[in-house]
Amino acid sequence: MSKKVLITAGAGGIGFATATAFAAEGHRVHIADINAEAVAAAVASHENITGSVTDVSQADSVQALFDDLQKELGGLDVLINMAGIGGPTVPAEGLDPEAWNAILGINLTGTFMVTQRAIPLLKQSEAGTIVTMSSLAGRFGYENRIGYSTTKWGLVGFAKTLSLELGQYGITSNTIHPGAVAGPRMDSVLAGRAEANGTSLEAEQANALQNQSVKEFIDAADIAALIIFLAGPHGRTITGQQLPIDGDSKAAS
């Protein structure tokens, strides 16, 4: 059965990989992303994908998103909360309060506002599903990234509370905790570290994977496949869980 899917930050990275995976299976997907050019490219990539340019930290932008969603999909079965920012890489004592508030505004408040609007629609679904993207930093502390780690831990409590409140309506709620994901962003990070440290790209890759049992970066397609499983018929009793997909990582770095 075709599902109606909303993905925040759906125009790039894991979000876009998930959007294309759902669309390829015949589901109708609406993406929300702050990057207008990326939204246009994503919408042009598949007939089952529509989109809105959205800043989830702004209530009026979230309202406009749901107006668009109603026009495009007319309902909702699956909400995937991907939107988030990392913020500056600095020790806690050096983090500007404005930067702290910006991280919370998107990662926590934005996720709350989108989810709050989605709940009445999900209650009308026969198999409502909420998947919220946490992180390896939502399982471990993350040195010099206190805002990011705090919000990713906060999303665990957010999703767990939703599982308790919404289970009676058949709605599931889980968090996914990816490790380092392969792709252009990771390539750029490793290249930057190699340049800064005067080392090779291979050395920085090995260093990045040293805390993992499986020495591979995570494939975004695998994360998408996990989300599709959770939204499918065999995921209906999986709720309130924290699902790592990180090669058995021992720390966030």
Which string of DSSP letters, residue by residue, matches 178-239? E-SBPSHHHHHHHHHHHHHHT--HHHHHHHHTTTBSS-SPBPHHHHHHHHHHHHSGGGTT--
Active site residue 148: yes
Pull the structure tokens for residue 62.
């979230």
Choose the catalytic residue: 16, 22, 140, 148.
148
3-state secondary structure of 6: strand
Pull the structure tokens for residue 198.
């005067």
- What's the DSSP call for residue 218? B
The amino acid sitting at 49 is: I
Tell me whether residue 42 is exposed, middle or buried, using C-beta atoms within 10 angstroms of its C-beta: 0 to 12, 13 to 18, 19 or more. buried
| Nearest residue to 111 (alpha-carbon basis) of 133, 94, 93 | 133
Quickly count: other Cβ atoms within 10 Å of residue 117's Cβ.
18
Q: Which residues are catalytic?
A: 148
